[in-house]
Every structure is written in structure tokens, then in C-alpha cells.
Amino acid sequence: MKYFISSITSKAYWRYIFSQNGLKSILAIFGLIWLIIESLDFFNVYTRDQYASYAFFIFIAISTVISILLRRPIKSISVRFPEYDFCIEVRIANLFELNGATMISSNTIFEADVAGGKISVDSLQGQFTAKYYTGNQSKLISEINEELKLIDSTSPYPMGTTIPIHTHGKTFYLTAMAELGENGNASSTMTDVKNALEGLWDYVRTSGELQELAVPVVGTGRGRLKTSRKKMIAMIAESFVKASTNNKFTDKLIITIRPEDAESFGINLYDIKDHLRHILK
């Protein structure tokens, strides 16, 4: 409800309603109403001499209301690719409340010390540790080290290096996506993110299971990338489609947006859906 209220009172929502696509929707509905009225006139059910002088404005108002109702705030959109039998969903949700496998962005040395302040408690990895390894961070570090022993590489690991962590009946893919500075701050470039996603796709294809895969809108928070969430969602989607068309590795990719970010940055899923259809089809 909070997101709904925030959406309909935001400038971004109304800009979209009265954008070029929104106006096309209003005119299409108006045309349908006018066709019905013309049909009623043709069959003498409701003839022109019965029209009120302000009927035009009534029809425009009705068309606008219907268009707004059809474009009410929503929490998820899907773009389907029936020719390849997979789909992309963009969902406003808590990443940890979803089913299926989940991607967790990490760093090139897979540092996981949250208690010692080396990893921020507010970062995605910090939230993951707090939720699933509360008071038992050493267990997570041990599991990470065991998985790293199986990798034919040394620290710092290449961007895209991915290791699985199985806990609470779920699979989490920790993927190297950022470098840690001396002060513990993580930083990424767009190239880093693209390489990280390609590494994630490759790992899931060869070692993962064919289940839903949830990926957050990475890089826009502590990754410090000056890229809008809309552009980052598009980049994730494009990378996924490119990797999936030749060899599918999941039926559905869920790109998640934190509810707080959806409100703070005026996320409009209809706008994102139109954008994805434009660049992916």
C-alpha cells in the first residue's frame, strides 16, 4: 500500500501517464468509445441528436480514467521470450523473500568479515550474513574458503568468479563483482559488472540447477556506479538474453528492486517494461 500511494503521488508516475505512450493509450480508448457510440447511432440506439454538447469532454475524461486504471502502480512486470522458453521478470521485492536461487554480489577476495567491519552491514553481502549466519559468521567464512579451494585460480579472483553457498534450503551464488579498497569500500565499473554477470551465467549453466534465478539491481548502491537503475536493469536483461538464447540455464530471471529504492528513485515498472521490449525484441 505504501508503494502504491507513493507511486500515484509521484511526478514520475504522472509523467508516464501523460507521456507519449500514455497519450496513445488514452486516444486508443477514446477511439474505441467513439466507435461504440457511432455503432449505437447507426442502429438508432443512441442517435447524434441525443448527444450532450459536452459529450466530447466526457468521453475524453472517461478515456483518461480508464487509461490510468489500466496503468495503476504494480510491483512486477514480465517480458516473455516464447521462442526460447524463458522470461525476465522485474519485481519490487525483498531479495531474500524470493524462492529459487539468489545472486549475492561479493568482492574479488571474497572477504566476508562483517563483524570486523571489513564488509558493511548495509551491503547486500552484509544483509545476507545477518539473515542466514547471525552470530555464526565463521561458518560462512569456512564454507566460502572450502568452495574457493575448488577454483583453479588465486586471490584476487577474476570478476565473475562464482561460488555456491547452500543454506536454509536455498542456493546463493556469491559472485565477484567489486574490488575492496584499503578502507574497505567496494567499487565497480560497468565492465566489472558485465564480466561478473557473464561469469554468473556461465557458472549457473555448467554447475547450477534449472531453477528461478534472482539477481538484484547491482552496482547502483555500494558499487558506486553513476548509472540509473533503469539502465542497469536493461544491461542485466540484455546480458541474460545474450547468454540464454544459445543455451538456456533458467526458465526465469527475476531482477529485484528494493522497495525503498522504488520509492526513493521513482521507479515506474510500466516505463521499464516498454524500455525492455524496445531493446530486447
- What mean pLDDT value characterizes the chain? 90
- CA distance linking residue 198 with residue 33, whole number of Å: 49
Q: CB–CB of 166/176 below 8 Å?
A: no
CATH code: domain 76-280 is 3.40.220.10
Residue 92 burial (CB count, 10 A) = 21
- CA distance linking residue 82 with residue 64, whole number of Å: 32
pLDDT of residue 242: 96
Q: Are strands 252-257 and 86-92 parallel, antiparallel or unpaired?
A: parallel
- Residue-range domain boundaries for the chain: 2-70, 76-280
The distance from CA 2 to its chain's CA centroid, rounded to whole angstroms, is 19
- Taking each helix axis from N to C end, the angle separating 20-42 and 55-70, rounded to the nearest 10 degrees, works out to 130
| Inter-residue long-range contacts of 139-143, CB under 8 Å, 24+ positions, other chains counted | 140/112, 140/165, 141/112, 141/113
Alpha carbons within 13 angstroms on the beta-carbon side of residue 202 total 11
224-254 pLDDT, tens digit per residue, is: 688 889 999 999 999 999 999 989 999 999 9
Q: Which residues pair with 165 in a beta bridge?
A: 172
pLDDT of residue 2: 64
pLDDT of residue 222: 63
pTM to 2 decimals? 0.84
pLDDT of residue 12: 66
pLDDT of residue 185: 77
| Mean pLDDT across 86-97 | 96
pLDDT at 180 over 70: yes
Q: What is the DSSP string of the chain?
A: -HHHHHHHTSHHHHHHHTSHHHHHHHHHHHHHHHHHHHHHHHTTSS-GGG--TTHHHHHHHHHHHHHHHHT---SEEEEEETTTTEEEEEEES-GGG-SSEEEEEEETT----TTTTSS-TTSHHHHHHHHHSTT-HHHHHHHHHHHHTTSSS-SSPPTT-EEEEEETTEEEEEEEEEEE-TTS-EE--HHHHHHHHHHHHHHHHHHS-SS-EEEE-TTSSTT-----HHHHHHHHHHHHHHHHTTS---SEEEEEE-HHHHHHTT--HHHHHHHHHHHH-
- CA distance linking residue 111 with residue 258, whole number of Å: 24
pLDDT at 6 over 80: no
pLDDT of residue 124: 94
